[in-house]
Structure 1
């Protein structure tokens, strides 16, 4: 086993070589993350190290309570998509709740993809409340708008989408139609192993109880026919003397 540690400036993260696998230790989240899974310096693609992330053949990276998939092209080339296509690729993408999560997505994007790109955020403008919301209709508890602010007077709010600039880690509201393609980061909540185990145990218990109740009912319904009904017949005994004489007399009459 070969273990070599390298700390980045500022103490935000360390890079660790474990055998031939390159890992990045993110100091803020205390999670072990595969660093740059498509880099030639790493060898084979690194798999996500969290068992609670989806096992769908894609590389998911755990952070906090979520898992992230950075949609890529060949090797480490980013692919850009329209906002509508991004919604088809990901059932949910990039909802940022904290400064740590914002920095993680921007920092990890620069490690996965060459260069700097912009990323779609899962946000929309709700005209009913005159505010931006995440796609799950939850309000913004954190934001990092550029100096122009959340509201750009030159941008029609009805056609407003939001992007994250990876280089500056700042947000900008842009036209969904005039700014057609950006990078995509899918996000999903990590599964709870304890909850999954409880669900499995509950299903087994329900099936066991149902089978037991069914067996008792079947036995109760068929209880009257478990033993065949019968009538009592006394055993055959030897004929009495009078019966013997009667039979002999009838035989004599028949032969005479």
Structure 2
């Protein structure tokens, strides 16, 4: 292996590790448009703007195809949805939230059994106002707040799906930076040892091209030169 190839292979390995690690924060690659925000991904369901949109709660859930309706855990997330919605929809939008009334605990919960650590109800609203088993919630874009709606009878015109980054890779082990570095160093060490062995092998090989150029050839031999001088002197004395 030539010395230049060692650097090339190391560079290729580093590039592969960088690509692998940098892809760890990607949103689902399922053909839909996902918008990232704080380690979460959001898909704003949209269609033809000249058609009146009306989605029941169950219909809204089917649009997410394996993911959940949006759950809002902070004021920053609530503001993000409000600011991005005009990029997708025109006019006022009421977005279904992934929330339901839990009859066991008598309180509203997010899907996934997450408690409501953050709420943004319409002023004067004390949920639930409707029959508990029929209570869901929607985000109103005009006010930025949430309201109670019927899960069975109401229709809304906004659907947002939410997923964690790398949702398609959940359950798989994430790449380890330390492990990747150890692998690279091991490969570099092995290739370095291989280069040394190759160097020593070429050095010991008879007639190796890289060493024949450095063979020592003395310009003269002292003994032969002295003998030549004596012969030349004798010939000169014998001349008339």
Q: Give the TM-score range, shorter chain.
A: 0.5 to 0.7
Separation in 2, partners of 1:103, 1:180: 23
- Counterparts of 1:1-256 in structure 2, within 5 Å, are 52-74=26-48, 79-90=53-64, 91-153=67-129, 155-191=130-166, 195-198=173-176
Q: Deviations over 1:220-247 (max 9, x none)?
A: xxxxxxxxxxxxxxxxxxxxxxxxxxxx
Q: Which has the higher helix share?
A: 2
Separation in 1, partners of 2:36, 2:29: 13
Residues 152 and 141 (structure 1), Cα distance of their counterparts in 2 relative to 1, 3 Å cut: closer
TM-score (norm 1): 0.53
- Answer yes or no: is the 8 Å Cα contact 1:53–1:190 preserved in 2: yes
TM-score (norm 2): 0.57
- Answer yes or no: is the 8 Å Cα contact 2:137–2:148 preserved in 1: yes
Q: Which has the higher strand share?
A: 1
What is the deviation of 1:195? Answer: 4.8
Range that drifts further, 174-183 or 115-124: 174-183
Residues 146 and 186 (structure 1), Cα distance of their counterparts in 2 relative to 1, 3 Å cut: same
Separation in 2, partners of 1:136, 1:124: 11
What is the deviation of 1:76? Answer: 8.9
Higher relative contact order (CA 8 A, sep 6+): 2
Structure 1 residues without counterparts, runs of 5 or longer = 1-48, 206-256
Separation in 1, partners of 2:147, 2:113: 19
What is the deviation of 1:57? Answer: 1.1
Residue 196 of structure 1 aligns to a residue in which SS?
coil
Q: Deviations over 1:142-163 (max 9, x none)?
A: 000012323254x212101100
Separation in 2, partners of 1:126, 1:152: 11
Residue 100 of structure 2 aligns to a residue in which SS?
strand
Separation in 1, partners of 2:90, 2:126: 29
Residues 111 and 76 (structure 1), Cα distance of their counterparts in 2 relative to 1, 3 Å cut: farther
Structure 2 residues without counterparts, runs of 5 or longer = 1-22, 184-240
Residue 115 of structure 1 aligns to a residue in which SS?
coil
- Answer yes or no: is the 8 Å Cα contact 2:71–2:98 preserved in 1: yes
Cα RMSD for the two superposed structures? 3.1
